[in-house]
Structure 1
């Protein structure tokens, strides 16, 4: 009689594992039900962002996830300093069919526009939360959010950001040594001078 109990226990364990593996595959399928990844750039520098709520469907399956709004979602992140009027670009693994961007400043809507994958930061200095809602026709949508600090005293020269005073002093020194510079360095310096 003991072998019968062993066989029964073995059968129950096998059935339990088979049932669990079905759930495991279902969980793995859901893990692949995610919107395309986004990369937020200013020049070549990546700006960190947070993923917000989304709904996504593929092959007859769908998943939705809710998060806090843009300001609450980014409350624990430090803003990225950007020059005023600088150009922000968003690249997605798969281009959305539509995009909607909202600038929030001090908890209120500052600016809103649609269908632009690159957009200028405001001229007005301050901290902004940027919310981007992307939609993919018949597939789903997702919002991302990030914080920026628009600073009128930052000039972007190459990849280095300096204060206006530091930049003027640097350019004075570089102008004195231009006859020893390469043509690439000369072009970079002239671009910095134009930004001043």
Structure 2
């Protein structure tokens, strides 16, 4: 159930959806582990990691070097971000700039965890919510 409130942002029972945009196409991500505070009613949900979460999901086909943009239609936007890329047994942190990352140049299947935090503007080290979103791409 969505309810409007006076601060001009939507109150949700869980973190907002995140889409990824590649060229003119948009794709859904899968919400994983999160902690969310809705009108002083906090909830945390723990899920499996990105690879297990995406088991059976068809990878998004991309070209080497494609730009992958994260789109969230929600206010306020999270103010901290992190992207982790997993391929075979390797796991590396990926640089994110202007809500975008670049697809790898080498062919293969890559799993991603897009982690976001809504950190409090007034209280240091206090999170008002966090979530990770998973998606998988295949570089042709």
Q: TM-score range by the shorter chain?
A: 0.7 to 0.9
The structure with more strand, counted as a fraction of residues: 2
SS at 2:94 equivalent: strand
- Show the 5 A alignment for 1:119-138: 119-137=101-119, 138=127
How does the TM-score come out when normalised to structure 2? Answer: 0.79
Match in the other structure for 2:36: 56
Contact 1:99 1:116 in 2 (8 A): no
Give the Å deviation of 1:146: 0.6
Select which of 57, 67, 71 maps to 1:77. Answer: 57
Cα distance per residue 1:111-148 (max 9 Å; x no partner): 43356511110111110001100111142101011110
Q: Which runs of 5+ in 2 are unaligned?
A: 1-10, 120-126
How many correspondences in the alignment? 121
- Show the 5 A alignment for 1:96-175: 96-113=78-95, 116-137=98-119, 138-151=127-140
Contact 1:132 1:145 in 2 (8 A): yes
Match in the other structure for 2:45: 65
Task: Name the structure, 1 or 2, with higher relative contact order (CA <8 Å, separation 6+).
Answer: 2
Stretches of 4+ aligned residues off by more than 2 angstroms: 110-116
How does the TM-score come out when normalised to structure 1? Answer: 0.57
